[in-house]
Structure formats: C-alpha cells, structure tokens
Amino acid sequence: MKSKTFSIAVSALAFVATGMLPVMAQDTPAKIEQIGLMVQDMSNPFFAAMEKGAKEAAAEIGATLNTQDAQLDLANQNTQIDAFIQQDVDLIVISAVDQAGIAPAIERAKAAGIIVMAVDTPAVGADAVFQTNAVQAGEVSCTYLFEQMGGKGQVLLVDGTPIQTIIDRITGCKNVAANYPDIQIVGQQASRNDRASGMSVSTDMLTANPDVTGIFGMNDPSALGAVLAVEQAGKSSQIKVTGVDGSPEAVQELTRDGSPFIGTATQNPGEMVRQAVKAAVAITEGQTLTETNVLIPSVLVTRDNVSEYPGW
C-alpha cells in the first residue's frame, strides 16, 4: 500500500565464501546514472508493478533503467549480472531467484564498484534489502482465513519456490495455526508461484482432502489458481481462500460475486524499489546505511475495505 509508515529491522547480511580470489573493489559511483533491475518472473504482475516503481525512481534522479527477467532461473540472473557489469551500470536492484546462489555474481558486481540492493527477498552480499514483512503477511492472511472459517476445519497451503520471503509467509501462517487447535493443515504443496500451477496443486490436494474448508496461497497468483480449482470442484460455497500481494487481480476477484477468494495481505513492490534507489543515492553521497533490512508492513484487504485500497 502507499503508506509512509515503515517497520524497521536491522540485520547484517551474511557473506559467503565463493572460492574466488579476493578482488579490490572499485570506488562507489559518484552518481546513479544507470540502473539494472533484475526481476524473478515478469509474467507475475508483482514484478510488473516493481518495474513501474523502478521507472518512477529512475526518472526522479535522471537515470536510465534496464530491466531483465530471470524467468525463475538462477543461471539467467548470473548472466544478467555479468552483462550489467560489462555495461558499467551504477546500481543493480535484484529480486533474487536464489539468495545464496547469487552471492558470487553479486560479489563480482560489487568488485566492479556497483551498488547492489535486494528487493522482495534477501540476496547474500547485497548492500541492503527492502522487503515486505513476510512473516506478518502470512499471519495477517491466515488469521483472517481461520476467523472466517469459524476457527475450525481443514486447511491447505499452496506453497511456492523456496526463497526466503515465501518461506516466511508459510511460517507466518503456521504461527497463527498454532493458536487455533481446531484448525488442521492437511496438505501443503509447492506451486511455481503462478496461477496455472496453483490450480494444479490445489486440484491434487482437494482430491486427496475432500473435506477442506480453507486454502492459503502464499501469493495472489497461486491463491487465484486455488480459486479456479475450488470452482471446478463445485465447492465455492464450502471453501474460503486467501492470498498475499494485494495485486490488481486479487482486487478484481474480491469484487466478483460468489468468489471463494475473501482476502489478501498487501505488498508494495513499487515502494521497495523506490526505497532501494533512494538508499543507493545516499551511498553515493557518502552516507552509511544504518538500516540494511527494511521491512514494509503488510495489511489486510477484504471485500469490506477493498474500495479504500489504493493498490499498486
């Protein structure tokens, strides 16, 4: 959401050994003139919103922007970072496919004098990370789901690719489940974070667990895939679904009569990038970052308040 209130947590990003010989880093750029944005999967509207925020941030400081889509492939992100090094970009903003696996490439970028900011999920070696409070997002979404289920019943978790932000959302949901003794998590399968695979894994789990009355999707695309599975099973009146993102598609679904989709916990992808660029500019001005892990709060959007939600 377009909120100026932030919950700040400070943690040092770990450095991992790469087996490479140490390289003397070049000087930090005096000005951010070229920005390289690296997203996980541009087919996900979340990353399209992230690019929109990056364009706004680049325009504000007079920089150019080059966006690269990893298509959920670590090898692609390695290649993209090497290309950015060759292009002499001043700042890389990355949503990492693999937070540890990308560390050697980030080390190469920093050795070349490039500032590296992680967004959405940590990336080992980055100067800082800007992300949603993902544990809170899982807690917010599942608290509402369990309450709407009357505090009892069987639940499915539509998981995703094993990156930290998704792991944290599932952790948040399970934290809440521990407070509801009559809620049973009877299935958990990983999607590829999109609607098609969300529908597929939900269909499989519903077949094995016909008495389910709630589904938590760790992002909106997977949750909306679960909605399709619920409707195809003819159980729209039986099962409630929640997600995480606050995406335009989720907003639209919340206004559709008869949909089993009842709520989403927000993220703000554009704000993540805007904050990352602002921090990078501060570095070029000689400032030292005091916060290296900025957590943006997540709030609940439901049918009751969706008309007040500004969206992405």
Give the pLDDT score at 27. 75
CA distances from 221 to 203, 213, 225, 253 (A): 15, 19, 6, 11
Give the pLDDT score at 26. 58
> Which residue has 């790469």 as its token pair?
18
The count of residues in the chain is 312
Same domain, 195 and 166: yes
Same domain, 89 and 164: no
Give residue-wise pLDDT tens across range 133-142: 999 999 999 9
Same domain, 121 and 165: no
Mean pLDDT of the chain: 91
Give the pLDDT score at 28. 80
For the chain, percent of residues with pLDDT exceeding 90: 90
Give residue-wise pLDDT tens across range 206-222: 999 999 999 999 999 99
Give residue-wise pLDDT tens across range 40-91: 999 998 999 999 999 999 999 999 999 999 999 999 999 999 999 999 999 9
Give the pLDDT score at 77. 98
Give the pLDDT score at 1. 34
Same domain, 258 and 139: yes
Give the pLDDT score at 250. 97
Same domain, 273 and 263: no
> Which residue has 């490039």 as its token pair?
114
Give residue-wise pLDDT tens across range 272-312: 999 999 999 999 999 999 999 999 999 999 999 999 999 99
Give the pLDDT score at 179. 97
Q: Which residues pair with 226 in a beta bridge?
A: none
Cα 8 from Cα 294, distance rounded (Å): 5
Residues 6+ apart with CB under 8 A from 248: 45, 311, 312
Does residue 16 or residue 173 have the better pLDDT?
173
- Over residues 28-50, the mean pLDDT reads 94
Same domain, 160 and 249: yes
pTM of the model: 0.83
Same domain, 181 and 262: yes
The domain that holds 211 is classified in CATH as 3.40.50.2300
Domain carrying residue 66? 7-132+268-297
Same domain, 91 and 173: no
Number of domains in the chain: 2
Strand boundaries in the chain, DSSP class E: 7-9, 34-39, 64-69, 91-94, 115-119, 128-132, 153-159, 183-190, 212-217, 240-245, 261-266, 293-296, 300-302
Query: Do the domain assignments include residue 117?
Result: yes
Nearest one of 73, 74, 66 to 105, comparing CA atoms: 74
pLDDT > 50? residue 3 = no
